[in-house]
Amino acid sequence: MKGLKKAAAAMVLALMAALLSGCLYPKDQLGQNQKPPKDAIMNVQAVVDQYQKDTGLLPIQNSTETTPLYEKFKVDFDKLKRMNYMSSIPESAYEQGGSYYYLVINEDTDPTVKLMNLVLYQQMNDVQAAVKSYSDTHEGKLPEGAELYPGFKGIDFDALDMKEPALHSMFSGAILTPMIDAKGTVYIDYGADIMQALSKLESGKKPGEQADLRAVLVDSSDFVPVKSPVYRLVNGEPRAARQ
């Protein structure tokens, strides 16, 4: 009996620890660093492919011309469930309370499922709101820091009276830098990530000067660069470009 009581006590303690860890690390916090299972992405890709084969269309939500490239075509999970293409939505999907939007890119040529990290997205929305509030109360002045690229500057978070968010790259795991353009639009600087990805390419496969270098990141991972500007190759290095 004593052995059973000890085992039961151990189980209770383990359960309490699990519950406490869940409170200390809510789902939206975990989502930034924990990537969804690969099979979830592969399953959604298979369903999207089958739907297109059957209907000639893609199961995507409507978007506008002004929607940024890597936020544009969200997978319409409601339609896929309603038409019996899926029995359940992946736990990592926003629609299921997860931390990712499932997107379709290359919709006209090679429809491919990728993920957008909503934790990063929300962090940048918070920074954008702070920048706008600062500009509105300082006669249009922006909280600019040092120049990072022509037309792009770092953000003076002291002026905003807020702590700079820790933006964890989905590509390298490194901490990324937020920046603003002359209009006060907030972006994340993926220059270092792109440079790292370019260094891994064979010389004959390197993109030309007019190519959007963000594709190098997307092609080599399951993710899209959240809140990113276009990047071009200038003197052998990636440079953010005004859109």
- What pLDDT digit, counting tens, does each position of 24-72 carry? 334 444 444 467 889 999 999 999 999 999 999 999 999 999 999 999 9
Q: Domain for residue 11, yes or no?
A: no
Map tokens 């699990």 to a residue.
Answer: 18
Which of the listed residues 94, 117, 140 is the one where a domain comes to its end?
A: 117
Q: Domain for residue 25, yes or no?
A: no
- Coil, helix or strand for 90? coil
Specify whether 83 is located in the same domain as 48.
yes
Specify whether 210 is located in the same domain as 125.
yes
Closest to 178 (Cα-Cα) out of 153, 196, 141? 153
* Range among 7-11, 14-18, 212-216 with highest mean pLDDT value: 212-216
Q: Domain for residue 193, yes or no?
A: yes
How confident is the model over 74-109, as pLDDT tens digits? 999 999 999 999 999 999 999 999 999 999 999 999
Closest to 243 (Cα-Cα) out of 117, 66, 64, 74? 66
Which of the listed residues 85, 117, 149 is the one where a domain comes to its end?
A: 117
Beta-carbon contacts of 84 under 8 Å, excluding residues fewer than 6 positions away, are none
Specify whether 73 is located in the same domain as 95.
yes
Specify whether 124 is located in the same domain as 225.
yes
Residue 209: the pLDDT is 83
Instruction: Give the percent of the chain with pLDDT over 90.
Output: 79
Which of the listed residues 91, 117, 143 is the one where a domain comes to its end?
A: 117
Specify whether 207 is located in the same domain as 229.
yes
Q: For residues 87-124, b (16+ Cβ closer than 10 Å) or e, as one string?
A: eebbebbbeeebbbbbbbbeeeeebbbbbbbbbbbebb
**Number of structural domains in the chain:** 2
How confident is the model over 146-178, as pLDDT tens digits? 999 999 999 999 999 999 999 999 999 999 999
Specify whether 45 is located in the same domain as 81.
yes
- Res 12 pLDDT > 60: no
Q: Domain for residue 64, yes or no?
A: yes
Q: Domain for residue 5, yes or no?
A: no
Residue 21: the pLDDT is 37
Residue 211: the pLDDT is 94
Which residue range forms the structural domain that includes residue 222?
119-241
Q: Domain for residue 147, yes or no?
A: yes
What rounded mean pLDDT belongs to the chain? Answer: 88
What CA–CA distance (Å, rounded) separates 210 from 22?
46
CA 202 and chain centroid, separation: 26
